[in-house]
């Protein structure tokens, strides 16, 4: 896999609704091969359309990462914030962040020091209301660059650890990487009417994918996202959603969608034929853009999701296996190149 490219993608900052940096970067990467086929819709989705015969196929990957937003700057220059997406407060304490104002300002998230907490305070769980961002600047100087409404993202460059990579924003830049690599691949040969869509605002309600899917109205939707690898100490073995190193994951269901069984069987057969390691994903909570691809007004698409297993999801140290990312790419490439052989007109009996 292309580690430098993945590092570049995860290093980009793009909170929900503010994915501009990611979109501009992708346009630059794609313009030489797809200049006439790139379109940005009104909500900010970046769409690559490769016209063709056969089924209308939409492959999606969301650009946004969970982020924060400035809600107040106090007289001492400490920044209060709200959340954009789902956070566990424990992953925020003592983390370095970037505040995206007129200029980017670096800060650290702090809380009341444990040394001066009362016994009662020590027993209580902290909440985001008790956290703040310290930029080391006085209020008047900070307010020259930062104001209420500015977004905040975590700062954690990608690192290699063993057979894995660890970074902020692997959710979902690992999938942005997969879709970009597919479009740049010499082996990419879609014999269908293909739409590659880099979506926005997934982390706050699948908003971009709903807009794009309603406009495109695909026959087949293949979403790309990460999923939970809860194979760590303290997790019961029978409750593991996926395991790191066991290959790409094919979504059976999550709380928002049940993948089309026939489409899953088709992709499973490709994985078997190509000897691509594959595991099944059953996620009892949470959802992805997969459901947005399926819920079309007056028309239901056949959908599934190729997922990359990730540990420590929604933290600054999301961790994925290099081999699993490779497996996800190989499965995606083989599935898209063969999708014209799938009978998407079959109906339930």
What is the arithmetic mean of pLDDT over 134-145? 97
Nearest C-alpha neighbor of 180 from the set 276, 51, 38, 318: 38
- Whether 187 is catalytic is no
Q: What are phi and psi of 212, to 5 degrees?
A: -65, -45
Taking domain 67-154, whether its CATH number is 2.60.40.1180 is answered by no
pLDDT of residue 183: 98
Domain definitions of the chain by residue range = 3-65+168-341, 67-154
Q: Give the confidence band of 310 by pLDDT, cuts at 50, 70, 90.
A: very high
Beta strand pairing status for 278-282 and 248-254?
Answer: parallel
Nearest C-alpha neighbor of 108 from the set 140, 152, 65: 152
- Most confidently predicted of 109-118, 245-254, 288-297: 245-254
Superfamily of domain 3-65+168-341: Zn peptidases (3.40.630.10)
The residues near 4 (Cβ < 8 Å, ≥ 6 apart) are none
- Active-site residue among 19, 65, 181, 202? 202
Per-residue pLDDT reduced to its tens digit, 254-294: 999 999 999 999 999 999 999 999 999 999 888 999 999 99
Q: Give the confidence band of 297 by pLDDT, cuts at 50, 70, 90.
A: low
**What stretch of H or E contains 58?**
strand 56-62
d(CA 8, CA 4): 6
Is the per-residue pLDDT at 146 higher than 70? yes
Is the per-residue pLDDT at 119 higher than 80? no
The residues near 24 (Cβ < 8 Å, ≥ 6 apart) are none
Is the per-residue pLDDT at 161 higher than 80? yes
First and final C-alpha spacing in the chain: 42
What is the arithmetic mean of pLDDT over 247-253? 97
Token duo for residue 160: 């290699």
Going by the DSSP 8-state scheme, the letter that residue 93 receives in this structure is T
**What stretch of H or E contains 207?**
helix 207-216
Q: Under a CB-based contact definition with an 8 Å cutoff, are residues 25 and 198 in contact? A: no
């Amino acid at each position: 896999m292309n580690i430098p490219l993945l590092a570049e993608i995860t290093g980009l900052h793009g909170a929900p609704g503010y994915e501009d940096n990611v979109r501009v970067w992708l346009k630059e990467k794609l313009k030489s091969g797809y200049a006439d086929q790139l379109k940005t819709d009104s909500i900010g989705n970046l769409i690559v359309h490769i016209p063709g015969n056969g089924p209308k196929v939409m492959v999606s990957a969301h650009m946004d990462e969970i982020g924060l937003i400035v809600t107040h700057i106090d007289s001492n220059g400490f920044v209060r914030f709200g959340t954009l997406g789902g956070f566990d407060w424990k992953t925020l304490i003592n983390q370095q962040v970037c505040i995206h104002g007129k200029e980017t300002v670096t800060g650290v998230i702090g809380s009341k020091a444990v040394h001066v907490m009362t016994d009662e305070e020590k027993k209580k769980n902290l909440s985001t209301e008790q956290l703040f961002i310290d930029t080391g600047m006085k209020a008047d100087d900070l307010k020259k660059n930062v104001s209420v409404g500015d977004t905040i993202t975590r700062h954690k460059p990608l690192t290699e650890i063993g057979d894995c990579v660890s970074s902020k924003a692997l959710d979902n830049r690992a999938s942005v990487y997969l879709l970009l690599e597919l479009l740049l691949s010499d082996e990419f040969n879609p014999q269908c009417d293909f739409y590659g869509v880099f979506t926005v605002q997934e982390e706050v309600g699948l908003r971009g994918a709903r807009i794009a899917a309603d406009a495109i109205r695909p026959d087949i939707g293949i979403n790309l996202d990460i999923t939970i690898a809860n194979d760590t100490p303290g997790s019961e073995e029978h409750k593991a959603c996926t395991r790191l190193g066991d290959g790409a994951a094919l979504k059976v269901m999550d709380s928002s969608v049940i993948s089309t069984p026939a489409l899953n069987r088709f992709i499973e057969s490709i994985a078997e034929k190509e000897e691509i390691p594959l595991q099944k994903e059953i996620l009892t909570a949470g959802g992805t853009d997969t459901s947005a691809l399926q819920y079309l007004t007056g028309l239901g698409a056949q959908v599934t999701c190729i997922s990359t297993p990730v540990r420590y999801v929604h933290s600054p140290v999301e961790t994925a296996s290099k081999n699993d990312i490779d497996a996800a790419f190989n499965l995606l490439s083989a599935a898209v190149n063969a999708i014209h052989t799938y009978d998407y007109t079959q109906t339930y009996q």
